Amino acid sequence: MPAPSSSALSTVMCEPVWRFIGAGTPMRDMVRRHAWEHTPLGPVAQWPASLRTAAGLVMHSVHPMFLWWGEQLVQLYNDAYLPCFGEGKHPAALGQGGRECWPETWAIIGPQIDSVRNGGEPQWYADNLVPIRRNGRIEDVYWSYTYTPVFDEGDQVGGVLVVCTETTSEVLAERRRHALDLLARSLLNCRDEAQVQASLAECVAGNPGDLLGAALRRGAAEAAADAEAGVLRIHGAELQLCDDLTLVFRVSPRLPLDQSYRQFLEQITAAVCATLSRIESDRALALAMAESERLNVDLNLSARIKDEFLAMLGHELRNPLAPIVTALKLMKLRGADSGHEQAVIQRQVDHLVRLVDDLLDVSRIASGKVELRKETVQLSDVLYKAIDMASPLLEQKRHRLLVEVPSVRWHGDPARLAQVVSNLLNNAARYTPAGGHITLSTRLRQQTIQIQVKDDGCGIVPALLPHIFDLFVQGNRQLDRAKGGLGIGLALVRNLVQMHGGEVGAASAGEGCGSTFTITLPDGLAEDAPAPLPVAAAAAAPPPAAATGAKVLVVDDNRDAADSLVELLAVLGYGAVAVYDPVEAIAAAGAAMPQVAILDIGLPGMDGYELAGHLRRLPGGAQLKLLALSGYGQEGDKARSRQAGFALHLVKPIDIAVLEAVLQLQQ
């Protein structure tokens, strides 16, 4: 048998040496080709059996495995481990010392390896963070791995076998799910953008591995400025939210901005966007509810103002009708002697005409149908015309009027200005107790004329001042209707003054402190120096003394109504006396208690209900028959009169037959 050649012998001898490595895969072939003789391990043929066995186990495993051997921890790894390297370390890592290959992470794994080599016991680590340099940067990578000692022929730890699994995706997924859950719970309680930002900050603080920063920015320019300044690095993770809000992230440079990372940021964005949408919806709903509530309040207020206006209108129209009806009755009873009654009727008809004119003016101005008829006039003539128009009420209330009127010519509509000033004078007269003081003054101010009406009356509460010129607004809506009016006079004043290019304002220090109304008009030219002219309205004669033994006491602040009713009662054969305010009524009844008292409910200072109580408490007052007199005739008004002790509620104008029937029962 021929002897084998030397080359054939070499081939036969080499194949068993490499059998434990295997062949046919990239790493097996690379291990076979590697110049191991230039490493501390030496030629493969000289490897001890323990190293061969461990290396064979690594190279034939389908699970990622890694072997460190010797003092230098020379490395050997299989095909399954290659994806763990990423780009940068392989293939230089094969045969390299461990410390040289993993300097960025040696502070973590070095002590773990030493523990296994020195103690001879295996170690297990689950989802442990071991950052490594791969793909050109340090990446946070999570691993579950074991370190197992491999004993050599001397029964010493010759190497460390690593069996590992990268769990980065699982760890990040769980961490991000937990962060999203916490963020979602936190966002549930957010009520504005500031609270959303606080929730984002809390999310960042609780998850520093994924987020270095997150912030809401309004407008693309602001977000871009943040990015350029390095405050927040966008790194492609800028996602547009509702309207002009942008959520800007500063992502971790130690994690790849892959699909899962982007999905995490998009989920945060979706949660924030949903919260902002919910906040905006809640805000819009709250605004809508508030607006609805406001509209309901306005609607209710409008309805209440309308009802009050209609009630006041009926009352105001009934007031002048009462003396008219009474005067007509007297004219029938007296025959030809009707001069006084005719004067009463004329005054009350004039009053009705003014009420209707005011109502029509409101409608005309609102529809733009009022045209000013301007002319150049002496201002004093216009103002004295206004005083004449207001004099009946001024005289009735016994007010003193001081007039300061300079000689000046003015260009405008004299009739409308007289209407404006008379309305202010009537307003002052109504809201000033009897015997008060009212001043009408005029001043020149820088090519303008200021007309001022000042009184020492009941004043205006601060809450009412901004609305004092609104239609149907009045200061006191209680039973004291002696002030009268429909709540349209001041609205007319403002509209007519504005049509002249002027303005009007009201001032008052509060209730009980009087009030001042100031009109400012353009185009005033002074001709003479101001000459204050004090003028006092003729004080009405003092009320007649109560007749001794009078059977009927009539109490009404409307003198025409009171006087004409007394005259009618006298013609009918009843003894009667009229007084015009509650204090006089108490004094008259105290001097001679009547059998019947007819009390106007809307008396100044003290309403008819309160006056009835005072009269009842006087000596003999318990037997006094009380009759209520009012322009209000609703069932509620009548019921209240009954509760106050009135035997009958009479509605103006009085039904004389009903009144006479009641009086006949007292005879």
* Residue 572 · residue 554 · CB < 8 Å: no
Q: Does the structure show a pLDDT above 60 at 541?
A: no
Q: What is the mean pLDDT of residues 269-281?
A: 81
Q: Does the structure show a pLDDT above 80 at 588?
A: yes
Mean pLDDT (the chain) is 80
Q: What is the mean pLDDT of residues 586-610?
A: 90
What is the CA angle 329-333-336, rounded to 5?
Answer: 105
Our measurement of the distance from residue 633's CA atom to the centroid of its chain's CA atoms, rounded to an integer in Å, reads 42
Q: Angle, to 10 degrees, between the axis of helix 168-188 and the axis of helix 193-206?
A: 150
pLDDT on residue 77: 96
Q: Does the structure show a pLDDT above 60 at 478?
A: no
Q: What is the Cα gyration radius of the chain?
A: 53
- Reported confidence tier of residue 474, pLDDT bands at 50, 70, 90: low
Q: Give per-residue pLDDT as tens, 165-213.
A: 999 889 888 888 988 898 888 888 888 888 888 888 888 777 777 776 7
pLDDT on residue 96: 93
pLDDT on residue 526: 42
* Residue 654 · residue 326 · CB < 8 Å: yes
* Residue 128 · residue 109 · CB < 8 Å: no
> Residue for token digits 């008052």?
508
Q: Does the structure show a pLDDT above 50 at 479?
A: no
**Most confident segment among 344-348, 419-423, 443-447:** 419-423
Distance (Å, whole) CA 355 – CA 316: 8
Q: What is the pTM of this model?
A: 0.44
pLDDT on residue 310: 52
Burial class for 187, CB neighbours closer than 10 Å (0-12, 13-18, 19+): buried
- Reported confidence tier of residue 321, pLDDT bands at 50, 70, 90: low
Burial class for 597, CB neighbours closer than 10 Å (0-12, 13-18, 19+): buried
Distance (Å, whole) CA 522 – CA 29: 108
Q: Tell me the domains of the chain and their CATH numbers.
A: 12-166 (3.30.450.20), 177-337 (3.30.450), 371-533 (3.30.565.10), 552-664 (3.40.50.2300)
Q: Give per-residue pLDDT as tens, 20-42.
A: 999 999 999 999 999 999 999 99
**Distance between start and end Cα atoms, the chain:** 174
User: What percentage of the chain exceeds 90 in pLDDT?
Assistant: 33
Distance (Å, whole) CA 601 – CA 604: 9
Q: Cis (ω within 30 of 0) for the bond into 91?
A: yes
| DSSP element (H, E) containing 449 | strand 448-455
Q: Does the structure show a pLDDT above 90 at 72?
A: yes
pLDDT on residue 538: 36
What is the CA angle 494-498-499, rounded to 5?
Answer: 120
Higher pLDDT, 597 or 330: 597
**Most confident segment among 386-390, 406-410, 517-521:** 517-521
* Residue 626 · residue 647 · CB < 8 Å: yes
Q: What is the mean pLDDT of residues 83-110?
A: 90
For residue 1, give the amino acid letter.
M
- Reported confidence tier of residue 529, pLDDT bands at 50, 70, 90: very low
Distance (Å, whole) CA 650 – CA 627: 7
